[in-house]
Amino acid sequence: MFNKNAKLISDLSKPEMVPTRDGYGKGVVEAGEKDERVVVLCADLTESTRSHWFAEKFPERFVQVGVAEQNLALLASGMANYGKIPFISSYATFSPGRNNEQIRTNISINNVPVKIVGAHAGISVGPDGATHQALEDIALMRVQPPMVVVVPCDAVEARKATVAIAFNDKPSYLRIGREKSPVFTTEDTPFEVGRAEVFRDINPDASPTLSVGVPVGANSCAIVGCGMLLYNALLAAEELSKEGIECLVINSHTVKPLDEKTIIEAAKKTGAVVTVEEHQVNGGLGSAVAEVLSRNYPTPQEYIGVQNRFGESGNAEELIKHFGMDVESIKKAVKKVVSRK
């Protein structure tokens, strides 16, 4: 049953399709309107990353660095050190992929509030192929000590996340996609960096904070996801419910800092966990969840994501299926982990 407090769209079968990069583009303009310290730098991908909306409105606060991602990070670090709130945007394969050393040394070690926007992330970039499909970026960013990592599930949440990280005074990584994806949250859907949201519960009487100890039977599972694949997780949960398996679905949009309390309580409530992400299963959300559970409440877990391989060319839908991240693959993972309880 969908959690009424999540305030999702009324009909999940008919979502509007908008890329999450559009949410970033709108959000950074909104942040710029709120505070003149907000500046945007881009590495020759202004329209692709939707930074051109900011450039059109605030040309005096926009810097086109060109194809020089290392310089992109260095310039932003200096600006942040002198009081600006810089957003740097490029494809995620290039930033943080190409300039990871500059991000580490000049942004993270100095703990300056640069906002790194990795666009065109995941295999849903499609025909561009393996070289442009960032599948390691969450892992790169979440191991840097001060870095906040946010992976919004749709364009509405991406706008909220952009505005939120603008004013958190911390180095932050925002992961966005190119492909149009379902918009299933609303302006009223709760969003707070560092707090996961329960989008679907397994018991209509259970509180949004996941009260531990509610009897749910053997056929239950917690699905913890981030990014656009969370929509597939919700569809899979609805179909599994008809087969007698109840799934609690958590939007863990903040991969770091992870909402450990919500995840631990979900594991206690269901006894099984499936993580869902458009990223390598090594080092991403699945690894973060496993680390938390291994320390606090060891639980059977299965992983939906890219299974230790590089991407391929193709359209987004066929790649999601080919790499085992579609609705049917999520259902199989849930059934497998439930059988391990």
Q: Are residues 194 and 315 in the same domain?
A: yes
Examine the domain organization and report whether 92 and 133 are in the same domain.
Answer: yes
Whether the predicted pLDDT of 204 surpasses 60: no
Q: What is the domain extent for residue 259? A: 4-8+188-339
Dist. CA 33–CA 137, nearest whole Å: 29
Q: What φ, ψ does residue 161 adopt, rounded to 5°?
A: -65, -40
SS3 content of the chain, % helix, strand, coil (to 5): 40, 20, 40
Alpha-carbon gap, residue 43 to 25, rounded angstroms:
15
Query: What is the rounded distance in angstroms from the CA atom of residue 328 to the CA atom of residue 331?
Result: 5
190 prior amide bond cis, ω within 30: no
Mean pLDDT in residue range 285-297: 98
Radius of gyration, CA atoms only, the chain? 19
CATH number of the domain to which 112 belongs: 3.40.50.970
CA dist., res. 310 & res. 306, Å (int): 8
E strand or H helix at 34:
helix 20-34
**Proportion of the chain above pLDDT 70, given as a percent:** 96
pLDDT of res. 206? 42
Catalytic residue among 69, 179, 277, 302: 69
Number of domains in the chain: 2
When pLDDT is averaged across residues 14-39 and rounded to a whole number, the result is 98
With b for 16 or more beta-carbon neighbours within 10 A and e for fewer, the 213-228 pattern comes to ebebeebbbbbbbbbb
Q: What is the pTM of this model?
A: 0.95
Q: At 341, is the pLDDT very low, low, confident or very high (cuts 50, 70, 90)?
A: confident
pLDDT per position as a tens digit, 44-97: 999 999 999 999 999 999 999 999 999 999 999 999 999 999 999 999 999 999
Residues 44 and 175 in one domain: yes
69 is annotated as an active-site residue? yes
Whether 133 and 157 map to the same domain: the answer is: yes
